[in-house]
Amino acid sequence: MLPSTAISATLPRNAIQLALLLGMFSVGVLAAEPLNDRSTLAQAPGLSLHYSPHVGFQPEDGWALIKTDDGVLFVWNVHELHFTVSIKGKDVKQVADPDHIFLTVDGKMLQIQAAEIREFAPDAKEKKLDDKAVLAAHREWESKYLEGLLKSKLTLKSFNVNMSALGPASLWAFDMPEGMNAEVKTQLYVTVLRGDYVVMLNCEATTTTSEVEVRKFLLDTMATLKTSAEPIDVQKLSQSIRAGKKP
């Protein structure tokens, strides 16, 4: 299985991912319509969810977006991993990709993804790797894939971060190779370990959005991550938010 970097199913894999990395597609081309005032559920792989107050459902294996007063609440129910992340922004749009998770948040491109540890470190338990070592293995796996995609050796900048309740996190970045799109300067990633999975957020620094701003955005967003031992009842959570309760 390929690394967790998300791509579109509607274009060749390398073409769409490379376009996103280079900033070749404008937000206007990629983005869907903004989420409306009602709680809205986005599409998930193999599952199309559109909230209706007259139709009940509970996605057992997918993801959803719920409109909130200050942005959207992202809900992930895939396999044994269940979590929410609060994404704050005045203008949040879902990128028009039916199978993967890209959002534009006030003009910033945000990717959300998760990878099972056995995909990139199948012997992690036997070697008794700690959280930092697992996150480092994921960083190596992901960056090697990106090097092949960009056909260029990447120089990574990485930092270990303690995110309080979330524990150790990995913040890493690389500058885009010379000769690429001049607008996109740096790709930044933050990852945390949750059970048998690594949760990843990715965003890009551009000529108009500084690396400092993107780093803060990623860390602030990841800090809102809340996990659940059981699948999250999306309809119940949506109704609760519409009733005025904070997620």
Hey, is 222 helix, strand or coil? helix
Q: What is the pLDDT of residues 7-18, one digit of tens each?
A: 223 334 444 455
**DSSP secondary structure letters along 78-92:** ETTEEEEEEEE-SSE
Query: Taking a C-beta distance cutoff of 8 angstroms, is the pair 154, 147 a contact?
Result: yes
Q: What is the pLDDT of residues 25-68, one digit of tens each?
A: 433 333 333 344 333 333 333 222 433 232 233 445 688 999 99
pLDDT score at 20: 57
- Quote the tokens at residue 123: 């012997």
Whole-angstrom Cα distance, residue 109 to residue 231? 27
The pTM (predicted TM-score) of the whole model is: 0.80
CA 194 vs CA 31, 75, 83, 101, 139: distances in Å: 29, 15, 9, 19, 15
Please give the radius of gyration of the chain, using alpha carbons only, rounded to the nearest integer: 18
Residue with tokens 């990852």: 191
pLDDT score at 17: 57
Query: Taking a C-beta distance cutoff of 8 angstroms, is the pair 173, 214 a contact?
Result: no
Any residues with CB less than 8 A from the CB of 101 and at least 6 apart, and which?
6, 63, 111, 112, 113
Q: Which residue ranges form the domains of the chain, and what is each CATH number?
A: 13-242 (3.40.1000)
The two most distant CA atoms of the chain are separated, in Å, by 53
Kindly indicate the confidence band of residue 231, based on its pLDDT and cuts at 50, 70 and 90: very high
How many residues in the chain? Answer: 247
